[in-house]
Structure 1
């Protein structure tokens, strides 16, 4: 999948779009504010005008990056079949959320329908591994898939408040996962 791009595009245009999304995704890791468009263009090996041909504004680019991240999550989550591996999967999701803190405010500005679709995809990707972990007693039984959205909101709040976001992730996970007997 090439992140919502129409199938009628030329092959080089598809490559450019994918390179832009990858560069933006890479550059949004670990920065507080979104990376400048010229830097995204440089990293993608395209001109700035090429970015704007594919993405008329930052919001459109943010939606493509979020979609790319969700696509990756779906692929990884589909391979998680061992119940104990859910902890590592959820940890990675929450750490990426912290690392890509500049993307979250842009994602929150997406159309409500887009936000809902993306959130539904994330929850759906995590539901199977969550249920398997619960069935084996690794995760508290009362955690619902919808609670995952609450966990994401809590980490976002900690990140926005400038408190120890990584520590908040550890504390959240300790509250979700059962202690070994």
Structure 2
């Protein structure tokens, strides 16, 4: 074995893992139900053995996809830091991505309550500073606290899951996002 060979395999493994997470995000955002693991492996361009080597079961994959989505969320929030006026656009973007990933949210609800709570706290923590800045600059209601965001996410998710008709659910959820944002933000 040559020095550096494991590194090459490691990069290949990292690429495979990233492709699997991207494919899983796509599958979980689609309208129709699909055979989850085989479809993800196909879209990622890997064999099922590779998929299961990285993620031994659906919960492990769901946990990884959720972690990946949370990293994307934290990056979005960080990109908006220093722009308190952009908090509305940020929150709208996140609420819409929640609608798109309603399949993932349904799977996460099967997790034990302690794990769900850890993820919820991570999301709320990501929004704490931008919310504080938006309040300081008079963009949002003065009585809004980070925990209220959890309530907003739950309300929008409930609307998104109210029907099996995906188009109707998305339309209703889009409307609920508009109503929620109007209730949170102060008039210009």
TM-score, scaled relative to structure 1:
0.88
Would the aligned equivalents of 1:29 and 1:100 in 2 still touch at CA under 8 Å? yes
Report runs of 4+ in structure 1 exceeding 6 Å deviation: none
- Say if 2:185 is the partner of 1:177: yes
CA change 1:32–1:111 in 2 (3 A) is farther
For residues 142 and 62 of structure 1, the distance between their equivalents in structure 2, rounded to whole angstroms, comes to 35
Task: Report which of the two has the higher share of helix.
Answer: 2
CA change 1:67–1:34 in 2 (3 A) is farther
- 5 Å-filtered alignment, 1:27-38, equals 27-31=27-31, 33=33, 36-38=36-38
For residues 86 and 104 of structure 1, the distance between their equivalents in structure 2, rounded to whole angstroms, comes to 23
Pick the structure with greater CA Rg: 2
Cα offset for 1:32?
Answer: 5.5
- Say if 2:122 is the partner of 1:97: no
Cα offset for 1:48?
Answer: 1.3
Which segment is superposed worse, 97-106 or 55-64?
A: 55-64
Would the aligned equivalents of 2:27 and 2:36 in 1 still touch at CA under 8 Å? no
Residues matched between the structures, number: 172
For residues 29 and 92 of structure 1, the distance between their equivalents in structure 2, rounded to whole angstroms, comes to 15
Unaligned runs of 5+ in 2: 1-8, 164-168
Unaligned runs of 5+ in 1: 1-8
Q: Say which structure, 1 or 2, has more relative contact order (CA 8 Å, 6+ apart).
A: 1
RMSD: 1.7
